[in-house]
C-alpha cells in the first residue's frame, strides 16, 4: 500500500511565523502535490513537483513556497503565516505525469493561524 | 489557467435512487479524469477514473461518462446507499501532470 504521511495532524501558529508542513511518500512516486481544502472551494492546487528540485506553481501559490530536496519528501512553506492561510492542507503523490496514475493523499494538516 | 467546474454543490437523494454529478473542464489537453470520495474526517480516495480515449467506464454501482467534444464528464451512482454519503470530487489531469479538482459535491443519501 502506498503511504503518504504528513508530519502533523493539527497545527496552531501565530501570524507572521514561518511554517513548515512536511510530506513523505514511500512508493518512489515522481509527482507530489500540495492542496488546500476550504468549504465550497474544493481542493485548490498550491504547488506541485514532478521531480527532485523541480516545482511548478498551481492556482494559488501566493504566500507559499515549496522544497523538494529528496524524491520522497515535499515541504510546503508559509513564509509569513497570515490568518487567511488557516485551512486544511493536503499532500498527494502519484507515480508519474502520465494519465492513469492515481493520486494518493495524506491524512491532512489542519492549520490554524491566530 | 486550467479550471474544473463541478455541480451541484449539494445533492440529497433517497436510498435506492440514482445520483448524478457533473463536471466541465477547460484544458482541452486534459487526458485523465479521476473521481474521489472523501468521507467525513478522512482523506480523499479514488473511486473510479477514465482516460480521454474512453467514453464510458462502469464499476458495479458507479459509472463515469466523458464527452471530450463538450469537455464534460459525469459520475453516476445507482441504487444509492447511506454509506455513499460523502463529498465527491472530480478532477482533470493535463499533459504536464497538473491535477486540478472541482469544488466538490456533498452527497446525502437518506434512509
- The residue with cell 464510458 is B56
The pLDDT value given to residue B98: 87
A10-13/A109-113 β-pairing: parallel
Q: Does B29 touch chain A (CB under 8 A)?
A: no
More confidently predicted of B96 and B61: B61
Calpha distance B69→A23 (Å, rounded): 38
| The pLDDT of residue B52 | 83
The pLDDT, as a whole number, for residue B59 is 94
pLDDT in tens, B11-32: 999 999 999 999 999 999 898 9
Which residues are within 8 A (CB) of A83 and not within 5 positions of it... i.e. 6 or more apart? A15, A113, A114
Contact with chain B for residue A97, Cβ under 8 A = yes
Is the Cβ–Cβ distance between B44 and B36 less than 8 Å?
yes
Residue B63, pLDDT above cutoff 70 = yes
Nearest CA distance, B98 vs chain A (angstrom):
7
Distance of CA B85 to the CA centre of its chain: 14
pLDDT tens, per residue, chain A with 114 residues: 769 999 999 999 999 999 999 999 999 999 999 999 999 899 999 999 999 989 999 999 999 999 999 999 999 999 999 999 999 999 999 987 777 788 999 999 999 999
In this predicted structure, what is the pLDDT of residue B14? 97
What pLDDT is stored for residue A5 in this prediction? Answer: 96
Angle at B29 between CA A33 and CA B106, to 5 degrees: 55
Note whether B106 contacts A: Cβ–Cβ < 8 A. no
Contact A21, A109 (CB under 8 A): yes
Amino acid at each position: 500500500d502506498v503511504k503518504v504521511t504528513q508530519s502533523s495532524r493539527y497545527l496552531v501558529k501565530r501570524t507572521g511565523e514561518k511554517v513548515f508542513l512536511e510530506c513523505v511518500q514511500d512508493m518512489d512516486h515522481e509527482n507530489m502535490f500540495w492542496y488546500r481544502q476550504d468549504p465550497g472551494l474544493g481542493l485548490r492546487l498550491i504547488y506541485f513537483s514532478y521531480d527532485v528540485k523541480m516545482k511548478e506553481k498551481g492556482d494559488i501559490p501566493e504566500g507559499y513556497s515549496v522544497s523538494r530536496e529528496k524524491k520522497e519528501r515535499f515541504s510546503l512553506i508559509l513564509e509569513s503565516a497570515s490568518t487567511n492561510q488557516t485551512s486544511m492542507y493536503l499532500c498527494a503523490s502519484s507515480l508519474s505525469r502520465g494519465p492513469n496514475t492515481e493520486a494518493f493523499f495524506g491524512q491532512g494538516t489542519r492549520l490554524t493561524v491566530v | 489557467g486550467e479550471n474544473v467546474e463541478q455541480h451541484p454543490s449539494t445533492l440529497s437523494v433517497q436510498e435506492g435512487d440514482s445520483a448524478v454529478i457533473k463536471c466541465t473542464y477547460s484544458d482541452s489537453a486534459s487526458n485523465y479524469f479521476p473521481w474521489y470520495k472523501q468521507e467525513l474526517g478522512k482523506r480523499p480516495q479514488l473511486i473510479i477514473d477514465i482516460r480521454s480515449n474512453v467514453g464510458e467506464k462502469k464499476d458495479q454501482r458507479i459509472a463515469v461518462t466523458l464527452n471530450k467534444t463538450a469537455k464534460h464528464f459525469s459520475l453516476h451512482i445507482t441504487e444509492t446507499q447511506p454509506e455513499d454519503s460523502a463529498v465527491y470530487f472530480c478532477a482533470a489531469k493535463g499533459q504536464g501532470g497538473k491535477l486540478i479538482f472541482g469544488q466538490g459535491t456533498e452527497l446525502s443519501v437518506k434512509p
